[in-house]
Amino acid sequence: MARRTTTIDPTATATDPILEDLPDFEQPSPAGVRHSEQCGDQAPWGARCEHRKFHDDAHSWQAPRASLEVPTHEQRLAELDRRDDALNGYHADELPGMPERPEPETTDYTVPTEASFGKADLVEAPGLKAIAERLIAEDESLEHLVGIDIGFFWRRRGGTQGGNKRYSHIKRPGLYENFYSGGSVVYLIDLSADHIREAQFTEQQIEACIYRELCKTAVDPDDNDAYRINGPDFSGFVRELDKFGAWSADLREVAAHARLLPLDQALAETDADAGDDGEESD
């Protein structure tokens, strides 16, 4: 019977398929753990975990576990600000090599973003103060406000009043405000950033908000240092106008002034109403 012999090819190298599959037990894995000390749990597709035995984290062939950290208040505000900027066409992330996007230009009418409030409910509004000073200088009926100190603020949340959104508010300083201001501030006026931002007010509408609050101011004719706040010139409901018309003196006065609207504004409103009804105006 012939004797069978085995011949080893001396030219075999590590590139041969059989040798490629054999692990090098003398060298540590890329994870720095020798094969004999590795976890070895196998993935469905055949890969084995190269972490040390009895490890607490995910296997080397698994994706890292998601962080369970809860975002902070500042991180949430920053995310809201980023989304707000994205809606307005601004992007925080620029392509490499591209010039930085310039900061959006701000004016006296710029409404602050939600994130710009931080943890505060009010922020000072020098822009609104400048607008008010121009309105006061142009209107003789507001001459009692010339030279007095009025504090202007943007309010984070305007809330509602009588079921309607409150866009602006005025008040006389109380005990604590007088203490911290030294008694120099006569009125405090704020505009609601959330409502005005949502309604996308024009510059004219922001001026109207400020002017409405200025119209509420008054001074005692017998004491020029006694400032007060007056109520509005009229009060009512659309439903009562629909049912009874301008039945009271204050409503009749409003109706008379409404008829004196500028011609271009009246025509624009008429065209808008005609468009809503699907009819063309003559």
- The pLDDT tens digits of the residues spanning 179-192 come to 988 888 999 999 99
**Do 190 and 257 reside in the same domain of the chain?**
no
Token digits of residue 183: 């008694």
Does residue 15 fall inside a structural domain? Answer: no
pLDDT at 89: 57
pLDDT value at residue 279: 46
Answer yes or no: are the C-beta atoms of 136 and 142 closer than 8 Å.
Answer: yes
Q: Residue 158 falls within a domain, yes or no?
A: yes
Q: pLDDT-derived band of residue 79, with 50, 70 and 90 as boundaries?
A: confident
**Residue that wins the pLDDT comparison between 240 and 78:** 240
Residues 94-136 have pLDDT tens digits of 445 556 666 678 899 999 999 999 999 999 999 999 999 999 9
Task: For residues 237 and 216, state if they share a domain.
Answer: no
Segment 35-62 shows an average pLDDT of 75
CATH number of the domain bearing residue 222: 3.30.2010
Contact call for residues 163 and 137 (beta carbons, < 8 A):
no
Tally of structural domains, the chain: 2
Q: How many residues does the chain have?
A: 282
| Residue 30 falls inside a structural domain | no
Ranges of beta strands (E only) in 99-184 are: 122-124, 149-155, 160-161, 164-165, 168-171
Q: Mean pLDDT of all residues in the chain?
A: 79
Task: Please check whether residue 187 lies inside any domain of the structure.
Answer: yes
Ramachandran area for residue 97 (φ above 0: left; ψ -120 to 50: alpha; else beta): left
Same domain as 208, residue 110: yes
* pLDDT (0 to 100) of residue 216: 95
Task: Note whether 112 and 185 are same-domain residues.
Answer: yes
* 181 and 280 part of one domain: no
In terms of domains, do 177 and 265 share one?
A: no
Question: Looking at the domain assignment, is residue 267 inside a domain?
Answer: yes
- Domain membership of residue 100 (yes or no) is no
- pLDDT band of residue 169 (cuts 50, 70, 90) is very high
Q: How many CB atoms lie within 10 A of CB 157?
A: 12
Q: Are residues 274 and 220 in the same domain?
A: no
pLDDT at 13 over 60: no
**Last-in-domain residue among 230, 246, 268:** 230
Question: Is 219 a domain residue?
Answer: yes
Same domain, 201 and 251: no
Mark out the alpha helices in 39-138 (DSSP H runs): 73-87, 126-138
Q: What is the mean pLDDT of residues 242-251?
A: 88
Domain extent, residue 148, equals 105-230
The whole-number pLDDT of residue 210 equals 96
Give the C-alpha separation, 29 to 13, whole Å.
21
Q: Are 170 and 186 in contact (CB under 8 A)?
A: no
Tell me, yes or no, whether 112 and 223 share the same domain: yes
Reference 132, options 208, 68, 46; nearest CA is: 208
